[in-house]
Amino acid sequence: MQHTNGSGYPPAFHQSHNGNSHIPTRYSPGRIVPVRPPPLPKSQGSPDFSSPKPENSATFSFSAAEQRQQAEVARKRHRNALICVAISCAIFFILLIACLAVAASSNFDENCPDQNPTVKQWNPGHDPQRKVVIGKGEHLSLGASATVHSITIQNGGSLVFADDKEGSKNVTLKTRFIHIREGGALHIGADKCHYKSKATIILYGKSDESEDLPLFGKKFIGVEAGGSLELHGTKKLSWTQLAKTLPASGLPSGSYSFKKDYSRGFNVRVIDQDTAQVLYVDKFDTHDQENESIRLHTFLRGLDPGRIVAIAVGDSAAKSLLSDTKQTLKDLLGSAHVNDLSFRQSWALVGVIGDRTSNSSEAVQDYVNHNTAEQALARRKFTTVNGVDFSVSAYSEWIEGTSWAGFNVEVADGTVLDLLDDVTSWREGDRIVIASTDYSMYQAEEFTLLPCPKCTKHQVKIKEKPQFPHVGEILDGVDMRAEVGILSRNIVIQGEMEGSCYGSNMCQFFNTDTFGGHIQILKNFTSVHLSNVELKNMGQQAQKKYPLHFHLCGDVDVKGGYRSPTYVDSLSIHHCFSRCLGIHATNGLLVKDTIGYDTLGHCFFLEDGIEERNVLFHNLGLLTKPGTQLPTDRNDTMCTEIRDKVYGKYIPVPATDCKAVSTFWIANPNNHLISNAAAGSQDTGMWYLFHSMSTGDSHGLYPETKAELTPLGKFYNNRVHSNFKAGLFIDKGVKTTHANSEDPREYLCLDNNARFRPHENADPSKPRVPALIESLITFKNNDHGAWVRGGDITITNSAFADNGIGLTFASDGSFPKDEGASQTVLESLFIGESKNYGFPGGQNKYFGTGWPGNRNRTLPRNKTFPIRGFQIYDGPVHLTRSTFRNFVSTSDRYTSAIGFFMKNAWQLTPKNKVSLVKLDINVSLKVFFCKPGPWFEDCKQDGDKNAVFNDFDGSVSGYKDMLVGRLDNFLIRNPDCINVTDWNGIICKGKYAQIYVQTWNPANNTMSIVRDEYPDFPMLLRGINQNHRATFQQYQPVVMLQKDYTVHWNGKAPENIVIYLINFDKNDWIRIALCYPRDTIFQVKSDVYQRLTKVVSMVEEYTAASSIKDFLDSQAERKYFFDNSTGLLFIYLQARNERDGQSYCSSFGCERLNITATIRSEQVSNCMAEVDQKYRKTPTIISPVPLNNSVSVPCRACGTSQVIFSSDPERTYIPVQVKSLSKVEIDQGDLEAFISVNGTKMKLYGRNTFVVTVDACTGKIAGNRTFLTKDTALIVEYLTTGIPQKSIVLLAVRSDIPGEQTISEALVSLGTAKAAKLKDKGSLALYGFKGHFKPSWVELFTSPAGQGLGIVEKYIPIQLEEYGCTKVVKIQRKDLEILKKLQRAQ
C-alpha cells in the first residue's frame, strides 16, 4: 500500500530498501514512481438514448395550423441545438489543444526528481543561523542559491535541486552539514535523468568552532540508516589517454624566449618555418659600425626564401645603418618603416624572407623622456609542417631610461591535444589534468579548455603552456601514453577553506588548510549512487575524514539486499586532504571511472583488511602525496616526528615503519582491479598487503581474516607508472598490536609479517589457487616496476620499461616457508631504457646519459644505479617466453637483463629456471652477478654468493640445462665450467640442491663450507640472522650433489645443529664432515618434519662407524664417523623419499639430521688445514657437458609472442619502422635502408625513393614502389593519384631527397599541413595517410644536412571508423566482459 503525503497523491519517491523491506520492481536509483490522477468514479448506470419500444399509448391529432406551428417550433429548437453543439465542440477542441500544448511544453519525465508535481519550490534565502529540518510529507525543490546553518532530511522527507532542459540554472547551497536519515533523501538528478544545470554544495565551518555531530563530526554530508543520496551529473568521459605526444611548451622544437637590456643594434633571430626552431641568433650593432650594417645586409641576403626573421632594436640602431641594408630589409622582409628609423627609436619586425605577398608585422615607438609610450611589438602566426600553430614575436621598448629587446616563439592561441577517445562531452572552461610520463609524479599538469571549432571529436585545445613533455605514443612496444582526466563536473561538492593552516590541523606539516568537507555513508542506508560529481577541497587530515567514505556498511550489493547495487561512477576527486575514497568494512561496491588527483594519504583505500568483492574498474589516481593519518601514509619527516602512539622513546624507522603511501591500497586480495591507472605516488602505485586480523574499527568484530591465504580477485589490464618506490607491490602486512615494551612500534605501521600464499577457501590444507596478474603495464617507476612476494603467482602478458628494476620475484616458496609454491612470469616484455628520454624538472633528481644513442635522459635512481630487467631474490621462480631489449651498461653503471637482489642475506634455490627468453637488440649484459662497489657494497652476503638459476634451454648462456652462478662459487664448480667474466659468472653442468643448516649455542658463528675438490676456495657464510638477539643461526648454501664437503666455524662449534635436505630427489646425496673439538661426544638422529602440522615422524638414531672405510661402505645405513685425528664428523645426507612436485621436500615432510654435541672445549673449530692434508681431492666431472649441448640455431619459440602491450587491447595496432639513409650515413658505412610493417622488412637499395602502402582497414601491405630519386615527376604522380583511399603511406629515401619543392607539395595530400622546405635536409621519412581524415600519427620527419634520422618507429592503429572503414572488426573488450561476469556473480 502506498502512503499518501496528505495531498492525496502518493509520495514523490519510492525509496529503495535493503534487508527484507519491499522494493518496487520498477524502482531504479532516484527514479520517481509514476504519478497519475486517480481514476474517475465508476458510473452507476448509463442513459439509454434508443427509441422506446412500441407500447399501448394514446394517439393525439392536431389541426393543420397547429401542425405548422409545431413544425416551426421544432425547426427553431433544432437550429438552436445545432448552434449549442457547435459552440460546445469549439470550446472542447480549444481546451484540448491548450491541454496538449501545456503537456507538450512540460515534457514531464517520471525519471527526473525535480519534475514530480508533488515537489514544492523552496527558496530559503541566505540565513546562516537557520537550521532546516525536512520531514514527513515535505518534498522540496531548491531552485535558487541559499545559505543555511544545516539541513536534516528525515522521516520520508526529500530535497531535490531544480533543473531545466537547457541546463540554465546555477544553484549553490551553502551549509555546515546535510544529515540524511530515516527515509530522508537528497536528489540532484537521477540514474536515468542526469542533472543538466550547475549545482554546488559548499560545506563550511572551521575545525575549532561549533560542536561535532556524533559519528559525522563537522562539515559533511552524512547518510545514516534509511537515508538515500542520489547525485547524478551530466555524463562526461572521465578520462582517456593522449594519442600524440604533447611536447614541453607545445612545440616539438621547444619554445624560445629572450629578453635583454642594452643589447644595442639589430637583434636578429631566424626561425625554421617548418619546425619553429630558432636556427640563428645574432646581433648587429648598426649604431656604431657601418661594417655591422654590411654584415647584416650580407646575412639577410644569404638566407633561404621562406625563413622567418624576427628583428628587435636594442638601444639604438640608426646611426650607421646604410641605405643598402635598409633596402634589403624592405625588399626581403617588406619593412615599411626602416627608412625612417631614428635615434633610440624602438622598432620590431617579423617577416618572411622573399614573401612580399603577405604583410610583415612591424611596429615603431618613439623615444620620449627616457620612455616609449608602449612596447613596439611585432607578431605573426605560422604553422609547422605537422600542423602546430605558432607565433613569432619581437619587441622593443624603453622603460625609465633602460632599453629592452626580446623575442618569443611559442604556440599560438592554445595547444591542441590529440586524444584516444571521443571527448565531445568536454566543454570550454573545463579543467583537465595530464599525468606525468616520467619518473616524477610532479610533472602532472592542469589545464583549462579553450573553445576549438576546428577540433575533431578526439581533440581539445588547452590554454596554458605545458611545462613538461607528456608521451602520447606506444614506445618500444609499451603503451606510455599519458592519462588525461577531466576534473570539472556540473555537480560540485566542496569544502570552504581558510587561507592557511590553523589550529590542530597538523600545521607543522602543511601550510594550507586541510580541514575540508566530507561525505560519509553508514550501514543500512536505503540507496546511495553517485555519478559525474566533482569533489574538491574535501577530507580532513587531522580528523581522519575522507572525501567519500563508506563506513562499516557491510554488503552493499545484491548480497546485502540492494536490488540496485551501490556504485560510484565518474567522480572527480581532486585537491583533497585525506585520501580519495575510503572503503571501510564494506563489500561489493563498484567504483568506476573515478579520478583521484592531488590528495594526501592512500587514495583508493581499503581500510581494515576485511573488505571483499569490491570492484575498482577503470579508475585513475595520480599525484598521491604523503599524509599523517597512518604510519604507512607518512614520509620521512612525518614518520619520525609523529610519536604520540609509539611506546617509550622509540623513534620510528621510515624505511620499515612508514613510507608506503599508495594510490591503490588493497588490504585484502579478494577484490578486483580492472583497467585502472596508478599514475604517480610518493611511494607505490598499487599495494596489496595482508592483514593477519581485522584492524581499526573492525577489530574484534570479525574472525581472523586470513588475507594472506585468500585467493586473488581479478587483476587485469592495470597500468602503474611515475611512482617513487614501486608500480605494483605485493608484500608485507601491518602491525596488529598496540605499542608496548616488547614491540614499541605504532599500531598499523608497516610490518614484514605476512606472505601471500593463496589456497582454496583460505585453507592451507586445501589446494593452491594460483594468483594471476594479467596485462600489467609498468614504466618509469624509480625503484621497481613490480615487487612480488608470495607463492603461486603468475604474471603474464605484461610489460616493464624504464624502471630501476623491472620485476623482482621474492618467492614465499623459499624454505622453510610455504614450500611448494612458485612464481612465473611469461609472455612479457622488459625494456631497460626506452625512447621515453624524460625531461628534467618536476622533482626529477637524476639525469645522465643512457641508451638509446647515449643521449641525456632522466634516470631512476642515480647514474650509478645498476638497472635490471628481471631480478631474482630467492625462488623458486620461472622466467619464460619473455623478451629483453635495451639493457646497455655505461661507464657509470652495470645494466643487465637478469640480475639478483643486492646485499642479499637470504637463500637462493637452484630450482630457479629460465627458459625460452629472447635477449633482443641492445643487450650488453645478459646476466650480472654483483661486484664490490656502489650499491653492491662488499658483495659478501650469503645470498650474493649463492645466486644461481638453471638455464633450461640455453636461451641465456647458449648451453642447455646448465646452472648459471657466480664466478667465485666453488661449491657448484667442476672442471667443465665456462667462465663468463663480463657477467662475473660461470656456467656449469651438474645436479644441484641445498642444505638448510640451523645452529644453536652459539648462534653467531660464521660458517665455512668447502668442497674437497677445491679446498683453497671456501665459501664463508655469515648467516641470515645477523643480530645479537637471535637465538639460532641459519645458513643455506647451494651444493653440487654426489660431492664431499667439510664445514668449519670461526668460533666454538655449535652444540645443536639441524640440517634439512632441500630439493633432494630420492637417493640424491652429499657427504658432509663437520669440524668439532676432538673430544666431542655426539648424538645423531634423523627424522621427517611436517612443517604445517609440526609433526615429527620416522625418527632414527645413527650409530658410529668403526672406521672411515666402514662409514664409506655403509652409505645406505644410518651411520656417522668421527675422525679424531682431524676433528671431522662424517655423515651422509641422502634422501629416502620422493620430492613432491614443486615442494622442497616429500609429501611426508622434510628429511633432516639432528646433531647434538657435548663440547668441553671453547676452541675455534676450524679444521681446514687438516682437510687439505688428508682429504683433498682432484676435481672430477660427474655430468659432462654434451658435445652438442651448445645452442647454435636461433630459437624461434623464444621471447614473447605479443608485440604490443597497450592499455586498449580491443584496438589493433601494427608496428611500423622507417629507416632512411642520408649521404653522410652511407659514407660512414651504414648501408641498410628499409621499411618494416608488422615484422615484414622491405629493404631499399641504390639512390632511390621507396613508398609502401598499407590498407588502413586490414593492416595488410597493399603495395610497394621503388623510384629513382631523379624521377621526381613519377614520384609526385604516384603520391597524388596512384594511391587508393584509406591507405597508410610510408616513404623512405636513400641518399638524396627527390625534387625538394615538388615532392613537398605532393606530401600535403598525404597529411602534411603545408609544403615543407626540403632544401639542405639530410634525410626524410614520412608517415602519411590517403583519405578524408588526418590521423594523429601522421608526421613528416626531416634531419639537418649531414645528419640522419635513424630508425623512426610508430605503432599505428588500424580498422578505425575515422579512416572510412566499413567493415570494422569490433574486438570484444575483455575488461567489460570481466566486469559483467563479476556483476552477474554478485
- DSSP H or E stretch at residue 301: helix 290-301
- DSSP H or E stretch at residue 75: helix 64-106
For 959, 1002, 1034, 1054, 1162, the CA distances from 1050, given in Å and listed in that order, are 38, 11, 15, 11, 11
Q: Three-class SS string for 568-582? A: EECCEEECCCCCCEE
What per-residue confidence (pLDDT) applies to 816?
67
**Do 1250 and 1292 meet the contact criterion of CB atoms below 8 Å apart?**
yes
Q: Within a 10 A sphere around the Cβ of 644, how many other Cβ atoms?
A: 5
The per-residue DSSP string of 59-74 comes to: -----HHHHHHHHHHH
Residue 564, amino acid:
S
What per-residue confidence (pLDDT) applies to 813?
63
Give the pLDDT confidence of 32-73 residue by residue, as tens digits.
333 323 333 333 343 333 333 333 333 334 455 555 565 665
- Alpha-carbon distance of 143 to 121, in angstroms, equals 7
Cis preceding-peptide flag for 852 (omega within 30 of 0):
yes
- Alpha-carbon distance of 241 to 420, in angstroms, equals 5
Kindly report the length of the chain: 1386
What per-residue confidence (pLDDT) applies to 78?
63
Long-range contacts of 79-86 (CB under 8 A, 24+ apart): none
Instruction: Give me 444's grid cell.
Output: 602532472
The angle that helices 290-301 and 323-333 make with each other, rounded to 10 degrees, is 30
Residue 1362 per-residue DSSP state: G
- Alpha-carbon distance of 311 to 1231, in angstroms, equals 43
Question: Residue 419 forms beta bridges with which residues?
Answer: 242
Q: Three-state DSSP class for 1263? A: strand
Q: Within a 10 A sphere around the Cβ of 1339, how many other Cβ atoms?
A: 19
Instruction: Give me 1009's grid cell.
Output: 663450507
What is the value of pTM for the model shown?
0.92
- Do the bridges between strand 1033-1035 and strand 1103-1104 make them parallel or antiparallel, or are there none, so unpaired? unpaired
- Alpha-carbon distance of 328 to 341, in angstroms, equals 14
What per-residue confidence (pLDDT) applies to 852?
81
- Alpha-carbon distance of 690 to 572, in angstroms, equals 29
- DSSP H or E stretch at residue 361: strand 361-365
- Alpha-carbon distance of 865 to 851, in angstroms, equals 14
Any residues with CB less than 8 A from the CB of 693 and at least 6 apart, and which?
Answer: 609, 699, 704, 705, 736
Q: Within a 10 A sphere around the Cβ of 402, how many other Cβ atoms?
A: 12
What per-residue confidence (pLDDT) applies to 306?
94
For 46, 52, 57, 632, 1198, the CA distances from 49, given in Å and listed in that order, are 9, 9, 19, 89, 96
Question: What beta strand segments (E) does 1229-1344 contain?
Answer: 1233-1237, 1240-1244, 1248-1255, 1261-1268, 1287-1295, 1321-1330, 1339-1344
What per-residue confidence (pLDDT) applies to 853?
81
- Alpha-carbon distance of 1250 to 1253, in angstroms, equals 10
Any residues with CB less than 8 A from the CB of 402 and at least 6 apart, and which?
Answer: 261, 262
* Low-confidence spans in the chain with pLDDT less than 70: 1-82, 84-86, 88-108, 357, 813-820, 1028
- Alpha-carbon distance of 729 to 1203, in angstroms, equals 25
**Do 573 and 580 meet the contact criterion of CB atoms below 8 Å apart?**
yes
The per-residue DSSP string of 3-16 comes to: PP-SSSSPPS-PPP
What per-residue confidence (pLDDT) applies to 702?
79
Cis preceding-peptide flag for 876 (omega within 30 of 0):
yes
For 18, 478, 716, 983, the CA distances from 484, given in Å and listed in that order, are 38, 18, 20, 42
What per-residue confidence (pLDDT) applies to 814?
62
- Alpha-carbon distance of 917 to 887, in angstroms, equals 14
- Alpha-carbon distance of 517 to 207, in angstroms, equals 10
What per-residue confidence (pLDDT) applies to 94?
64
What per-residue confidence (pLDDT) applies to 1371?
76
For 31, 102, 867, the CA distances from 105, given in Å and listed in that order, are 21, 5, 68
Instruction: Give me 800's grid cell.
Output: 616493464
**Do 468 and 438 meet the contact criterion of CB atoms below 8 Å apart?**
yes
Q: Three-state DSSP class for 559? A: helix
Q: Three-state DSSP class for 712? A: coil
Residue 325 per-residue DSSP state: H
Residue 64, amino acid:
A
Instruction: Please give the span between the terminal C-alpha atoms of the chain, in angstroms, as a whole number.
Output: 30
The angle that helices 1272-1281 and 1300-1307 make with each other, rounded to 10 degrees, is 10
Q: Within a 10 A sphere around the Cβ of 936, how many other Cβ atoms?
A: 19
- Alpha-carbon distance of 320 to 314, in angstroms, equals 14
**Do 459 and 242 meet the contact criterion of CB atoms below 8 Å apart?**
no
**Do 250 and 466 meet the contact criterion of CB atoms below 8 Å apart?**
yes
- Residue 811 sits at the vertex; the CA angle it makes with 808 and 816, to the nearest 5 degrees, is 150
- Alpha-carbon distance of 738 to 76, in angstroms, equals 105
Give the pLDDT confidence of 982-1020 residue by residue, as tens digits.
999 999 999 999 999 999 999 989 999 999 999 999 999
For 959, 960, 1321, the CA distances from 1192, given in Å and listed in that order, are 9, 11, 44
Phi–psi pair at 1330, nearest 5 degrees:
-100, 110
Residue 102 per-residue DSSP state: H
